[in-house]
Every structure is written in C-alpha cells, then in structure tokens.
Amino acid sequence: MIHTTPRGRRSVTRRGFIKGSAAAIGLTATSGAWAQSGDKVVSLLSWPGHGAQDVIGDFEKATGIKVQAKEYTGGEEMMALLQSSPPGTYDVVLSDAEYVIQLQQAGLITELDAGAYPLDDYWPEFQQFPAQYVDGKLFAIVVDYGFLGLVYNSSVLSREEVDSYAILSSEKVKGKVGMYDWYLPNMMCLSLANGNRPPHDIDGAKFEAVKQSLFALAPEMSGIGVWSSVFSQLTNKESLVMPGVGAWAALLLEQGGVPIKAVVPKEGGLQWTEMLAISATSQKQDLAVQLVQYLTSPEGQVKEATKSAYWASIPNKAGWKLLNEQNPKAAESLEHRLDKRNVMDEFKEGKIFIRDVPKQQSIEVWNEAWTEFKNM
C-alpha cells in the first residue's frame, strides 16, 4: 500500500490537532472550532477514504484551505444527515451515482458550472455520463468508479469456472456464496445473469424471475454482511465467490496476501460510480468549487485512483497519463495503461451497465424481495 505522508505535512496537522484539542477542552468552544470565520475551511461529506491526508493533503498545503471530512457508511444515512443537519454544515458531498438523483430531487445539491471543471479532459464516455445531469443541467461530476461482477478465491476456482454467474449455483461452492448486504448490486447481477439488459429496467415478469433466481440461492449462502464481514468471509474461505463485488475489494485483499481476484463474467457487469456535488446550502461555494476542481484534476485523480482506503478507476484521461508516469505499477493493476487493453475497452464492448435503482418497480419492491431472501 502507498502511504505518501511526508513528515512535514504530518506535523502541520499535528499542530492543527493541538490547536483543536485546546479548543475542545472548553467544551462549548468546540462548536465554534470548525466554524471560525477567519479560517478557510471546507467540509466534505463522503465515503471513508476521500477526506484522508493521502488524498487531500497536497490540496490543503497548496491552497491553505483546510478540508474537514465527515465520513458515512451508507447512502441513506448520508441523505438523512444532510437533511437534518443545520444548513451549510456540509459544502461538498461525495455520493454514489444512484443517490445523485435523490439528492437533486430532495433539493440538497446545487447546479454546477460545467465550465469550471476539466470535463474536456475526461474520457468521452464520462463527459456525457447520464447521472451527472438532471434535465440537461450538470449537478454532479464523476470522481472515481469501478466494475462489479464476481470476486472469487483463485486458489480454489479457475478463471474459466467464474466466467459465468452460473458458478453461484454450482456444487463446488455450495454453502460458500457470500454477498454484501445491499439488494442492488446482487439483484442486478442476477438480472444480468438472466439476460436482462439493462438489468434495472425490467418488467414484472422478468423481475419475478430475478426474484426466483435470488431465492434459489438461499441454500448456497454462507453469509450476507457489511464490508468488514465480507472481507473476513473471503479471507477465511467462508465464502469462495461473491456477486456484486468488484476489483476494488479484490485488489485490497490481493495486496494483503489473500488470493482473491475480480472478474466481469460473460453476462456482463455493473459499474459503481462516485460523484462529487455541492450542497445547496453551502455558504462557501467558492471553496467547494476549488475542492471539486482539485479532486477532478489530474493530480487529484491520481490520488483518488491510489487512495489507501481503496483503489479505483478514474474518468480523467489526463489523470491516466499522470498515473502512468508517476506510478506505472498502479496503472497496470488498475488496467489504466494507455498502450494496451484497459478498463475503457470493457466499457466499449458493452459488457458494463451502470448500477442504478430499479426503473419499472420501486426501490422498496426490490428491497423487500431482498429482506424476504435474508429471512429464508
């Protein structure tokens, strides 16, 4: 893993920490500590990892803007926190693509000025990425993404065996199938396995079939869990194969010495996409814009690609170039080489579908099937 925290920077944050602690001693002072008027502080609400020093350290040093990060563990908690906190608490929001429309509908994020961001440097597929726009207006911008298909234990299963989702019901992995506890990636993968394209836009009969495929897996399951549980299951061979999980997890496990690999099976895979948006109530729009600009710039993109929490693919082509120069090994394992087959090829081949909420049914109908499945 890469930990690029030089000593100098660490001591800066430590000084900040001491200052912060001094304020914390007087309890009431703490509420003011992050809202001091003179300081340039921008707040970021994101999945774990994006607000860490290895991602935003250089930004803080170069601009003198302090990034205050709040991390969340689920999209709904993120939405609830945004809606219930005092207006202006959060400036920049990082969210999964499927929540962008929810954030927009709930009036929580504001329109972006397309000219302010390096969209021209993005791969063409990401310049017009649908989830970025609502009614033709730009509301969010992709910062990183990855593919989901199957992850499998490569010491037990061969690449050929996992070329199809059919492996999930094979005798070889009976009682050893795991899943991450979220209906969407799992049920969408099963929808792909049933031949539905796109997998989220299916009629009642096809949905019923997906439900049956899911229920049929009940006896194959070893566990459904949160991420730490998923990692533990894969490490301890409690689960040999999992649908709906991607390269980011396999890379972490593999770097940790566990023989786990990721594959997009022949029926296709999904794409998870993390996007940046600016809170509608932010009082610091200018600072928020600067942070989003940095994270989408080539430098910020390289940091995002190789952040210590999890590696990810990036949409900025100039970022790819920089990554290939600075860290060719990472470019190799992320399949971001410009001179050979890379992740954009899989995208072009039409195997990849954007993970999205169900179109013809409500979220709750799918999720209830998931609850029923867990109850089996």
Q: At what angle do helices 247-255 and 227-235 cross, to 10 degrees?
A: 50
What minimum distance in Å lies between the beta carbon of 308 and another protein? 7
Nearest CB to another protein, comparing residues 56 and 322: 56
What minimum distance in Å lies between the beta carbon of 283 and another protein? 14
What minimum distance in Å lies between the beta carbon of 257 and another protein? 6
Nearest CB to another protein, comparing residues 238 and 335: 238
Category of 237 on φ-ψ map: left (φ > 0), alpha (ψ -120 to 50) or beta: left
The string of DSSP codes covering 252-281 is HHHHTT--EEEE--TT-EEEEEEEEEEETT
Nearest CB to another protein, comparing residues 181 and 201: 181
Nearest to 66 by CA among 18, 13, 116, 15: 13
Contact present, 373 and 179 (Cβ < 8 Å): no
What minimum distance in Å lies between the beta carbon of 297 and another protein? 23
Nearest CB to another protein, comparing residues 53 and 191: 53
Nearest CB to another protein, comparing residues 133 and 231: 231
Nearest CB to another protein, comparing residues 77 and 113: 77
What minimum distance in Å lies between the beta carbon of 281 and another protein? 12
Tell me the β-bridge partners of 94: 276
What one-letter code names the amino acid at 49? G
Contact present, 79 and 104 (Cβ < 8 Å): no
Q: At what angle do helices 7-25 and 53-63 cross, to 10 degrees?
A: 90
Q: What is the CA radius of gyration of the chain?
A: 21
What minimum distance in Å lies between the beta carbon of 21 and another protein? 5
